[in-house]
Structure 1
Amino acid sequence: MSEATRSLRNAKLGVVALVLLTLAGAYHFGIFAQVAEPKILAETLVARGAWGYLAFILAYTVLQPFGVPGTIFIVAAPLIWPWQTAFALSMIGTMCASVVGFSFARFVAKDWVSARIPARLRKYDASLERNAFQTVVVLRLILWMPQVLHSFFGVSKVGFWTHFWGSLVGYTPTLLLVSYLGSEMFDASGRIQPGAWPILAGLLIASLLIAALHRAYERRRSSGDLRSAERGV
């Protein structure tokens, strides 16, 4: 094993150890309990005053890629701050978490992560090769920010900046909606209010429509490529 390979392996092991230590520290100091639900998270951040902004982004960035649901953070944000602030902080936190999840999968644990990507995501490999930006946008609109999607993009061939900007576009509608209508969709405990169901239903329908249009576009494009290839032969 060359010195460069050994150094790279040691660096990767160091990053993994740092992640594990960070998560262990978060558990030891009760941070997981504080972000267990939006109400508790909101109370914790309010108690920190202006430092709550930084605490929100750091907690979101570090914890979401490794298991804590991002919805806890974006639901808590409009319970604390005006919708403009909630949207800005939610977007920053979501993008930072996505970059961490993407980078960890690509640069640190690619082989381990790649073996655990579900088949339902692997079917999008061809779409990413043909039209990476559009596919990233659609998948973020439909699936949003599960950790496995961060990892899938990380082990795929999509470029970093394509993933970054595609994710930004895909996240924007939902984050804007939740931030602006947060007080109408969720109560002080972060539970969904009855009036939120029509909003969520509309969002689901819109996502399914976008997915259907994307699939139709991909089928049409594949058929066109096939006809072109046959004419070429």
Structure 2
Amino acid sequence: MGAWGYLAFALAYTVLQPFGVPGTIFIVAAPLLWPWQTAFALSMIGTMSASVVGFSFARFVAKDWVSARIPARLRKYDTSLERTAFRTVVVLRLILWMPQALHSFFGVSKVGFWTHFWGSLVGYVPPLLLVSYLGAEMFDASGRIQPGAWPILAGLLVASLAIAALARAFERRQRPS
């Protein structure tokens, strides 16, 4: 539970999530093990590390192989990424969180590493903060969702969509006429 527990959690999350283990398992488990502040910090470290590993694997190790396997539903964001990379990364992270295909998509796209990194960080904060803070209320010790969690999850969805809409409105105001 001390420093070795934190390290084991972050390392397992970083290594396993980009290659198939759902990150949600780690994010749900963290507030059941630690106080919400620690759970948030560890979830953020693990999520960002896993995103960097997935992005870097797709960009530097297996670009051609990964590119051939990106779902068509993500490919439609290619043009948006070219025009508004940071906002698109933030919005997709807010709504979709951390699927492996999204790490890979960003890795084979024209998004720069630092744009991916900072956009992901901004997009991850609201959902990870909410799950860390309310995780013990939303899930029981076995990880099953509690009936009272549905309003919380609906609120998270509404908040994510509102942030995405505000980001879009802000971008439109910034464009020269």
Q: Tell me the TM-score normalized by structure 2.
A: 0.91
Residue 142 (structure 2) aligns with: 189
Judging changes above 3 Å, is the alpha-carbon distance between structure 1 residues 141 and 84 closer, same or farther for their aligned structure 2 residues?
same
**Residue-by-residue CA offset, 1:134-173 (whole Å, 9 max, x unaligned):** 1100000011000000000000000000000000000000
Higher relative contact order (CA 8 A, sep 6+): 2
Q: Report if aligned partners of 1:104, 1:154 keep a CA contact under 8 Å in 2.
A: yes
CA distance in 2, matches of 1:208, 1:154: 24
Judging changes above 3 Å, is the alpha-carbon distance between structure 1 residues 62 and 106 closer, same or farther for their aligned structure 2 residues?
same
Secondary structure of 1:88's match?
A: helix
CA displacement at 1:87 relative to structure 2:
0.4
Residue-pair matches, total: 176
Judging changes above 3 Å, is the alpha-carbon distance between structure 1 residues 117 and 218 closer, same or farther for their aligned structure 2 residues?
farther
Deviating more after overlay: 182-191 vs 98-107:
182-191
Gaps of 5+ in 1: 1-48, 222-230
Q: Report if aligned partners of 1:79, 1:182 keep a CA contact under 8 Å in 2.
A: yes
CA displacement at 1:131 relative to structure 2:
1.0
Alignment of 1:112-127 (within 5 A): 112-127=65-80
Q: CA RMSD in A?
A: 2.7
Secondary structure of 1:158's match?
A: coil
CA displacement at 1:219 relative to structure 2:
9.3
Gaps of 5+ in 2: none
CA displacement at 1:182 relative to structure 2:
1.0
Q: Report if aligned partners of 1:101, 1:150 keep a CA contact under 8 Å in 2.
A: yes
CA displacement at 1:119 relative to structure 2:
1.2
Deviating more after overlay: 199-208 vs 158-167:
199-208
CA distance in 2, matches of 1:53, 1:199: 27
CA distance in 1, matches of 2:133, 2:169: 32
Q: Report if aligned partners of 1:186, 1:193 keep a CA contact under 8 Å in 2.
A: yes
CA displacement at 1:207 relative to structure 2:
2.8
CA distance in 1, matches of 2:137, 2:118: 29
- Quick check: which has more Rg, 1 or 2? 1
